[in-house]
Amino acid sequence: MSAYLLAMLIADKVFREEGSKKIHIAGTFNMINLGPSNETPGFHVFIAVTDVSSDDHKGELVLEYLDEPRIEIGRLSGPVKGPPDKLSVIELNFGLPPLRVPRPGRVRISFFLDGQYVAGRDVRVVRQEGAQ
Q: Which of 53, 49, 44 is nearest to 6 (CA)?
A: 49
CA dist 36 and 132 (Å) reads 5
Alpha-carbon separation of residue 125 from 12, 53, 62, 69, 108 (angstroms): 15, 35, 16, 15, 10
Which pTM was predicted? Answer: 0.91
User: What is the per-residue pLDDT across 52-82, written as a single tens digit (0 to 9) for each?
Assistant: 999 999 999 999 999 998 999 999 999 999 9
- Once rounded to an integer, what is the mean pLDDT over residues 24-47? 94
Does residue 35 carry a pLDDT above 80?
yes
User: What is the per-residue pLDDT across 121-131, written as a single tens digit (0 to 9) for each?
Assistant: 999 999 976 55
Sheet (strand 31-34) strand order: 31-34, 116-127, 105-113, 57-65, 71-80
User: What is the per-residue pLDDT across 73-121, written as a single tens digit (0 to 9) for each?
Assistant: 999 999 999 999 989 999 999 999 999 999 999 999 999 999 999 999 9
CA dist 97 and 44 (Å) reads 9
Does residue 1 carry a pLDDT above 90?
no
**Backbone torsion region of residue 51, taken as left when φ is above 0, otherwise alpha when ψ lies between -120 and 50, otherwise beta:** left
User: Mind listing the domains of the chain with CATH numbers?
Assistant: 4-127 (2.60.40.10)
Residue with the bigger pLDDT between 51 and 132: it is: 51
Q: Residue 128's pLDDT is what? A: 72
Does residue 132 carry a pLDDT above 50?
no
- Upstream peptide bond of 69 is cis (omega within 30 degrees of 0): yes
Residue type, 130: G
